[in-house]
Structure 1
Amino acid sequence: QRLFLRCENSNIHFLIDTGSDVSILPNSLLQRRNRTNHPLMAANGNTITTYGKRTTAVHLPNLPTYEWTFTVADVKTAILGADFLNHHGLLVDLKNNRLIDTTDTAIATPRGTTGNTTAPKEPYCSVVTIDSRSKQLLDTNKP
Structure 2
Amino acid sequence: MERTTYDLCAANGTTIHTYGWLPLSLNLGLRREFTWRFVVADVPHPIIGVDFLSHFGLLVDCRNNRILDGVTTLSAPASAANALIPSVKTISSNTPIDSLLTEFPDLTRPAGVQREIRHNTVHHIRTVPGPPVTSRPRRLAPDRLAIAKAEFDAMLRDGTARRSESSWSSALHILPKKDNG
Q: Settle same-fold status: TM greater than 0.5.
A: yes
2:43 to 61, 68, 75: 75
Aligned partner (choices 82, 96, 102) of residue 70 of structure 2: 102
Could you tell me whether the CA contact under 8 Å between 2:18 and 2:39 is conserved in 1? yes
1:50 paired with 2:26, answer no
Aligned to 1:88: 56
Aligned to 2:34: 66
Q: What 5-or-longer segments of structure 2 have no aligned partner?
A: 85-90, 98-181
Q: Partner amino acid for 2:57?
A: G
Runs of 4+ with deviation above 6 angstroms: none
Q: CA deviation at 1:119?
A: 4.1
2:24–2:36 contact (8 Å) kept in structure 1: yes
> Matched residues, percent identical?
42
Structure with the larger strand share: 1
Deviations 1:67-122 (A, max 9, x none): 01001110001111101100000011011111110111111114xxxxxx454679
Q: What are the ranges of 5 or more consecutive residues in structure 1 without an aligned counterpart?
A: 1-31, 111-116, 123-129
Q: Compare the two structures and name the one with the higher helix fraction.
A: 2
Aligned-pair Cα RMSD in Å: 2.7
Structure of higher CA gyration radius: 2
Q: Given the superposition, is the C-alpha separation of residues 120 and 100 from structure 1 closer, same or farther in structure 2, using an over 3 Å criterion?
A: closer
TM-score between both structures, scaled by the size of structure 2: 0.44
SS of equivalent residue, structure 2 residue 47 = strand
Give runs of aligned pairs for residues 1-143 of structure 1, distance below 5 A: 32=1, 34-110=2-78, 117-119=79-81, 142-143=96-97
Letter in 2 for 1:49: H
> SS where residue 79 of structure 1 aligns?
coil
Count, aligned residues: 91
- When normalised by structure 1's length, the TM-score is 0.55
User: How many Å separate the matches in 1 of 2:37 and 2:66?
Assistant: 23
Question: SS where residue 87 of structure 1 aligns?
Answer: helix
With a CA cutoff of 8 Å and minimum separation of 6, indicate the structure with the bigger relative contact order: 1
Larger deviation: 39-48 or 59-68?
A: 59-68
